[in-house]
Amino acid sequence: MDYFPIFLDAKKLNAVVIGGGNVAARKIELLLKTPAHITIVSPDLKDSVKALLNNSQVVWQQGLYSQAALENNQLVIAATNIEVINQQICNDANKLGMLINVVDNPSLCNYITPAIIDRSPMIVAMSSSGNAPILLQMLKSKIDLMLPSGYGKLATFCGKHRLKIQDKIKQFSQRKLFWQKALEGEIAKQVLAGNEDAANQLLENEMNNSYSKPSASLTLIKVLNQNPDNLTLTAYQKLQQADAIFIAPSLDAIYFDYGRRDAEKHHNIDYKLIEELVSNNQQVVVIANEQEDLKIRAVSLSTIICGTTTY
C-alpha cells in the first residue's frame, strides 16, 4: 500500500483551511460533517464560504497566511490558487509534523482524502492511490447503490448491544455467526423499519437461545496454486472466523490477508501447536498444497472437528 488507511477522531481534531474560495468551501463542507474545529485563514471570502460561518465549529481569521496560523492545529488544507503560498504552507506543516493536503497537488500532500460513502456512524472510504479516479468513482457508485440509507441505524443498534453480546458469547467465531444472522434476518428488518423496541426484544431472545460454549474446529484448505482468488466462499468464511491460521512454507503469505486481522499467524505447520489450539477450543485453519495435504492427513489429529478441502 502506498497510503496507510486511517480514521482520525474528529472530536479531538483542529483543522485549518488556508483559502476562502469555492475549493475551500468544498473542503470545509466535508469537515463540517464531523465535530472538528475549523479555522479559515484568508484576507477575504467568497459567498460560498461566508455561508458556512454561521456554524459554531467555524471561525474566520482574516488576513494573509503566516506560519503562526498553523499553531494548535493538527491538520491543514491549502486551498489557495497561488503556488508559492501552497509550497510555503507545505514546508511549514512538514516542519511541524502536521497532516497536510494541498488541493490538486498530490506531491505536496502527506495525506489524501478518500472517496467516501457516508452512512454515519458507518463510513466506507476508498482510494485508488491517485491512479484511477474514474475506476474509483465507478466502484463507489456500485457500493453506494448496495448500501441502504438506513445502514447507519444498524451500526448504531450494534453499538448499543456489542459489549453485552461480547460478554454473553465469548468465542469470536460464534459471535460473528450470531451477528450475521441478526443483521441478515428479522432483527435487521425491524431496525431499518424504525421498530427498535421489537428489534431489541428479538435480539434478546436470540441471545438467550444462542449456545455460548466455545467450540473447536480444524479446517484444512488445500490449494493447487498461489492464487488466493480461487478460494471458495466457504474457505474465506473459515479464514474470517479462525483464531489461528497456519500456512505451509511453500505457499505465499498473502493468504494471511484473507483471515481475521487479530488471528494468530504461522507460516509453517506445527502439528503439536495445532493440536494444542484445537484442544483449547480454538478455531484453526491450515492452508497447504496437495503434497503437504497428504502429509497433514497422515498425522493423527484426534481433536479434528471438521475439515474443508478447497481448490
Model confidence over 252-292: pLDDT tens digits?
A: 999 999 998 888 999 998 888 998 888 888 889 999 887 66
Range of lowest pLDDT (152-161, 189-198, 245-254, 285-294): 285-294
- Cβ–Cβ under 8 Å, residues 93 and 76: yes
Considering only the top CATH level, what class is 114-147? alpha beta
Q: Which residues are paired to 37 by β-bridges?
A: 14
Topology of the domain comprising 151-209: Helicase, Ruva Protein; domain 3 (1.10.8)
Residue 284 bridge partners (DSSP): 218, 244
DSSP-assigned states of every residue in 220-281: EEE-SSS-GGG--HHHHHHHHH-SEEEE-TTS-GGGGGGS-TTSEEESS--HHHHHHHHHTT
What pLDDT does residue 213 have? 58
Query: What dotted CATH number matches 217-298?
Result: 3.40.1010.10
Q: In this structure, are strands 99-102 and 115-119 parallel, antiparallel, or unpaired? A: unpaired
Report the predicted TM-score, pTM, of the whole model to 2 decimal places: 0.67
Which amino acid is present at 237?
A: Q
Between 112-126, 274-288, 290-304, the lowest mean confidence (pLDDT) is in 290-304
Tell me: pLDDT of 214 over 70. Answer: no
Rounded to an integer, the average pLDDT of 186-206 is 91
Mean pLDDT of 49-67: 96
Helix (H, G, I), strand (E, B) or coil at 291: helix
Name the residue ranges covered by the structural domains of the chain: 10-113, 114-147, 151-209, 217-298
3-state class (DSSP) for residue 75: strand
pLDDT of 309 reads 45
The confidence score (pLDDT) of residue 300 equals: 42
More confident position, 183 or 109: 109
Higher per-residue pLDDT: 143 or 291? 143
151-209 shares the fold of 114-147: no
- Residue count of the chain, please give it: 311
Question: Exposure string (b/e) for 151-188, b if CB count within 10 Å is 16 or more?
Answer: bbbbbebbeebeeebeeebebbbbbeebbeebeeeebb
Q: Is the pLDDT of residue 197 over 70?
A: yes
Which three three-digit cell numbers place residue 241?
472466523
Using CA atoms, how far apart are residues 201 and 212, in angstroms rounded to an integer?
A: 19
What value does the mean pLDDT take over residues 67-96? 96
Cβ-contact 25, 42 below 8 angstroms: no
pLDDT at residue 148 in the model: 82
Contact 311, 224 (CB under 8 A): yes
Region 10-113: CATH code: 3.40.50.720
Helix, strand or coil for residue 154?
Answer: helix
Q: What is the mean pLDDT of residues 218-242?
A: 85
Task: Give percent above pLDDT 90 in the chain.
Answer: 55
pLDDT band at residue 25 using 50, 70 and 90 as cut-offs: very high
> Under a CB-based contact definition with an 8 Å cutoff, are residues 287 and 223 in contact?
yes
| Of 172, 132, 131, nearest in space to 259 by CA | 172
Q: Distance of CA 91 to CAs 4, 16, 99, 107, Å?
A: 21, 15, 12, 12
* Alpha-carbon Rg for the chain in angstroms: 25
pLDDT at 311: 38
pLDDT over threshold 90, residue 223: no
